[in-house]
Amino acid sequence: MLDFFHELMRVSLIFFVVIVLVVLAFMIAPKLKLTLPLTCFVLFCTILSPWAGAHEALAFKIIYLLIGQAGIRWIITLVLFIKDRMDDHQLDRGLEADVYWQLQKAKERHVPLKDLYMDDDGTLRNATDHKPLI
């Protein structure tokens, strides 16, 4: 009788661990864009097991194509991320050059820097009347 309970506990523990792993996999899959391949794999291992066994090569091709699609989406996402970073860097350099130019104009006009401030748009303004310097 005690062996039966030990075996039941072991099976219950294994079942619990498998359920936790499946839940974790489905929580991580959307972040990695692997939801569709994971769902297809789970279906092929459970409900569609007879079909997947009879058409094993096709089932693997489907899963490989879905994983390949996710890989292509990773590459596209990486390229877009790099492009956005480069655009942000160019905007920052342009703003920096504009501010430098405005400061040079202020020096040419002999305006003390303590009388200036920069607004949110990057425009130097007079601290007393809030008008743009240039």
pLDDT tens per residue, range 108-129: 888 777 777 777 777 877 777 7
* Helices assigned H by DSSP within 1-134: 2-32, 35-45, 49-54, 56-108
26 falls within a domain: no
Q: Is residue 108 part of a domain?
A: yes
d(C-alpha 122, C-alpha 28), whole Å? 41
- Residue 80, domain member (yes or no): yes
Residues 77-98 have a mean pLDDT of 88
**In the prediction, which pLDDT does 1 show?**
66
State the pTM of this model: 0.60
d(CA 60, CA 44): 10
pLDDT > 70: what percent of the chain?
98
Give the domain range for residue 47.
Answer: 33-126
Confidence grade of residue 63 (pLDDT, cut at 50, 70, 90): very high
pLDDT surpasses 90 at 6: no
Q: How far apart are CA 74 and CA 82, in angstroms?
A: 12
Number of domains into which the chain is organized? 1
Chain-wide mean pLDDT for the chain? 87
